[in-house]
Amino acid sequence: MEIGQWRREYLQGGLQRGDLADDPISQFRTWLQEVVKADISDPSAMCLSTADASGQPSQRIVLLKGFDERGFVFYTNLRSQKAWDITANPKASLLFPWHFLERQVIVRGDVQLVTDAEADGYFRTRPRDSQIAAWASHQSDAIVSRQVLEDSFDAFRKKFDGQDVPRPEFWGGYRVIPHAVEFWQGRASRLHDRFVYRAIGDGQWQIERLSP
């Protein structure tokens, strides 16, 4: 079968206005809990889209590490491609591709650095080898071989032997502050249910149904 003929119907359920919470964070929390209950690996995986100063977009999968009424948080090297993009164009989109439940969540918003205290707090919870890897990798830089990376990792492992690993000054977190959050539920015949929350100020949200 040719790729153009690959398709299936989405029949797991629907989404109605009455199903939705008053705000997108509460609705996201409900859906995330259902994803976790489904026991699927990497439930917090999301596609992060950024664009550089010229408008060239880039995407990559990262892990959501926190969310609340302030926004959605992830952590990274602050000298990576995504960081350069955000410095030049502090806007981003997040996509949670929960295909197994025939759902998607799309977040659009502005991006800000989290505080040093937040970054320090999260860094302390990381496995030790992950902490060391943050020092060892100059994320997005070209390297001549994997051996360079492994040698760097070994060097920092020795450097921090017997002591706590501090957070590198070039490693931190970003918060995507949403101005629009869309909840997508697949339906038969491609007549999908789509609802978008749009920020209207003072913590209030307007909810619209979108045509599929």
Annotated binding site: 60-65, 75-76, 82, 104, 122, 126, 130, 139-140, 184, 190-192, 194
Residue 211 CB burial class (10 angstroms; 0-12, 13-18, ≥19) = exposed
- Report yes or no: 34 and 76 within 8 Å, Cβ to Cβ: no
What DSSP state is assigned to residue 93? E
First and final CA of the chain: distance in angstroms? 26
- Report yes or no: 148 and 70 within 8 Å, Cβ to Cβ: no
Residue 39 burial (CB count, 10 A)? 7
Annotated binding residues for substrate, as ranges? 65, 122, 126, 130, 190-192
Question: Which tokens go with 43?
Answer: 């439930």
Catalytic residue positions, numbered: 190
Residue 98 burial (CB count, 10 A)? 20
Name, in order, each residue with C-beta under 8 angstroms of 134's C-beta and a sequence gap of 6 or more.
77, 123, 126, 167, 168, 171
Query: Which amino acid is present at 20?
Result: L
Name, in order, each residue with C-beta under 8 angstroms of 188's C-beta and a sequence gap of 6 or more.
9, 10, 11
